[in-house]
Amino acid sequence: MTKRPRSYISSHVYTTPTGLYYDDRTGERLTARRGAAAGIAQQRMQARVRDEETGRLTFKRIRVKADIRLKGTKHTGSPDDEESEIDTVYDPDINETFFQRYAEKRLDEAFADYDHWNVESLGFVEE
């Protein structure tokens, strides 16, 4: 019996050359949606900010610049720029997409009167 070549997308989920997903722990086949979700979850965990000494998950304070516009106003002219500091759990150097989504969400929560987009990292704040 020959073994099928496996391409692991997370610690226990792998895909075969035909594109099917399998779980190593149970040996059962996964749906395409669940298999892809395992790969995205692996990427998300790799992008998390970790403590340099212990390796534990943590957060860091970061300076960001974002385009803002008052909610409910017409989209005429160029948007305003705003610099602010937020706490982030994703490292922008590892995965910019996860960082941008998280930063936009945090800015929208902190400043509810404004829409935020085009979030750009300006660097970590030294503590």
For the residues 8-23, what does the mean pLDDT come to? 91
CA–CA distances in Å: residue 105 to residues 28, 111, 114, 126: 36, 10, 12, 23
pLDDT at 127: 67
Predicted model pTM: 0.79
Q: Contact 101/86 with Cβ under 8 angstroms?
A: no
Is residue 120's pLDDT more than 70? yes
Round to whole Å and give the CA distance between 107 and 105.
Answer: 6
pLDDT at 80: 84
pLDDT at 6: 85
